[in-house]
Structure 1
Amino acid sequence: MIKFFRKIRQKLLTESKFSKYLLYAIGEIILVVIGILIAFQVNNWNEKRKNDSLEQNYLISLQEEFGFNKKNLKSLVTLNVKNANFGLKILNYTGPSKPEISEKSFDSLIINTIGNEVEFRPRNEIIDELISSGKLSIIDNSVLRTSLSSWSESLKRVKFQEAELSKYRFQLLDLSMKQINLRDAIFNATGGVFGITESKFDNKNTQILKLQEFESLLSSFIGASKFADQRFEVLDKKIDEILTLIKQELKK
């Protein structure tokens, strides 16, 4: 093909048909430019198709990841609400007077209040990979990109409140270790399923209810738990927003 065009140029030059040669040369340049543009466009189409395919794969993986996180968060919220409700029941019996609650009932309440750690542990493998590799830009939806990029900041706010809650929980545990017989408390709360039998010591666990320090720590724990609920609610809405946007993109 190149030889064919070269022969035409040489023929036009030898025949001194310069004007025709000039037009021909311009036409040839235009053809070359068009060929380059077409090749460039085809390359862009191929790249876009690859990116679209990669984006779809990431969106599916993100949908699974945030679906898991939503279920995980729901279970954690249920646990946190349960802990606070048990704590509120205990507050009904605190004060300087003789506690009007049985040892077994109190033991069950205190173990259920502070026996479980509240910490959200999300799966972040896919979103971390997207951000660390710089591939977040393949997500076409700008609103979704913004939501994904701010996910870690949302987690930080939750972690801050969880740390506050954990602080009061450990303070309650420390005080309980000093003031109550945890062996009896665990036995009464679990019915001995862990193999822990009743203690031979005869101290009354309900006496801790007369300590103002216990009442203050328990009140702080419940307050921190309620604030954690608010953080969890905001995070849950963010997860819903991300899942909705992902669903919309997958339908395109």
Structure 2
Amino acid sequence: MIKFFRKIRYDLMEKNKTGKYFKYAIGEIILVVIGILIALQLNISRENSDLRKNEIVHLNNILQDLNQEIIALEKMIKFKESQSKASDTIRDYIDGKRQQDLVSFNKNQFRAFIWRVHHPNNNSFSELKSSGQLSLINSNEIRQHLLNLNSKYVQLAMMEEHLKYEYHEFLYKKNINSIDYELMFNAKKVDFDKNDSILLKQNIEMIKGDKSLKNTYVLASSNNSYIASICKNILDIVEKTIVLIEEDIEK
């Protein structure tokens, strides 16, 4: 093809057709430029296609994490709300508002004591962010949702650390001298035929009217309730992010 165009140029030069030669030369340059542009466009299209395939892989990985996160968050919310309710119940016993259901008292005591934190299912996003490849996700809206979600995890971790401190400094230390841990941990093994109800009642008598201890359960109730609210907010962001990702993948 190159020899063909070269022969035409030579023929025009030999016949002194300078005007036609320059027009032809310009036309040839335009054709070359067009060819280069087409080649570049094809190359860009291939690169964009490869980037899109790579993006979809990452989006699917993140989507899988987020679906697991929904399950984990729902469990965490339910558990933290139950802890808050258990703390309120113990507070009522301290105030003398409850006198019966001694097994329930010890079970609530045990539930209020359990220490549990949320471990986010965000490995795919964290790896993408730490590798500096977050820009692979084209959708600015999806990126912002994921970054917002990440900041909420930081907030949750800070609140959990705060609650951990209060648990150790107030709830655990205060209760060491106020209740019988053996009764609490063995609440499910109560045998009323052996007068265990009398032993269980000792725990209530030990803490009744103890305002200092009551405050530890008020704090536990408030903080666990707040953690549940943070998890609900995170759950809302997770659900919205899933919708955005699913819509983006289907494009």
TM-score tier after normalising by the smaller chain length: 0.7 to 0.9
Q: Separation in 2 of the partners of 1:146 and 1:112? A: 37
SS at 2:99's partner residue? coil
Partner residue of 1:244?
243
Partner residue of 2:225?
226
- Structure 1-normalised TM-score? 0.87
Shift of 1:184: 2.4
Quick one: which amino acid aligns to residue 238 of structure 1?
I
Shift of 1:203: 10
Quick one: which amino acid aligns to residue 64 of structure 1?
Q
Structure with bigger RCO (C-alpha 8 Å, 6+ apart): 2
Q: Separation in 2 of the partners of 1:226 and 1:121? A: 18
Q: Which of 140, 143, 148 is 1:142 aligned to?
A: 140
SS at 2:155's partner residue? helix
Encode CA deviations 1:32-90: one digit per residue, 9 max, x unaligned.
10000000100111011111111221221111100111110100111101111111111
Asked whether the equivalents of residues 106 and 200 of structure 2 are also in contact (C-alpha less than 8 Å), the reply is: no
- Structure 2-normalised TM-score? 0.88
Asked whether the equivalents of residues 66 and 243 of structure 1 are also in contact (C-alpha less than 8 Å), the reply is: yes
RMSD: 2.3
Q: From the superposition, tell whether residues 53 and 6 of structure 1 become closer, same or farther in structure 2 (CA, over 3 Å).
A: same
Identity level (%): 25
Encode CA deviations 1:179-234: one digit per residue, 9 max, x unaligned.
2221222112x428xxxxx9xx9993220233211101111111112222221121
Asked whether the equivalents of residues 161 and 231 of structure 1 are also in contact (C-alpha less than 8 Å), the reply is: no
1:154 aligns with 2:155: no
Aligned residues: 242
Q: Separation in 2 of the partners of 1:245 and 1:98? A: 49
Shift of 1:28: 0.7
1:211-222 correspondence runs (5 A): 211-222=210-221
Structure 1 portions without partners, runs of 5+: 193-197
SS at 1:175's partner residue? helix
Partner residue of 2:65?
65
Partner residue of 1:169?
167
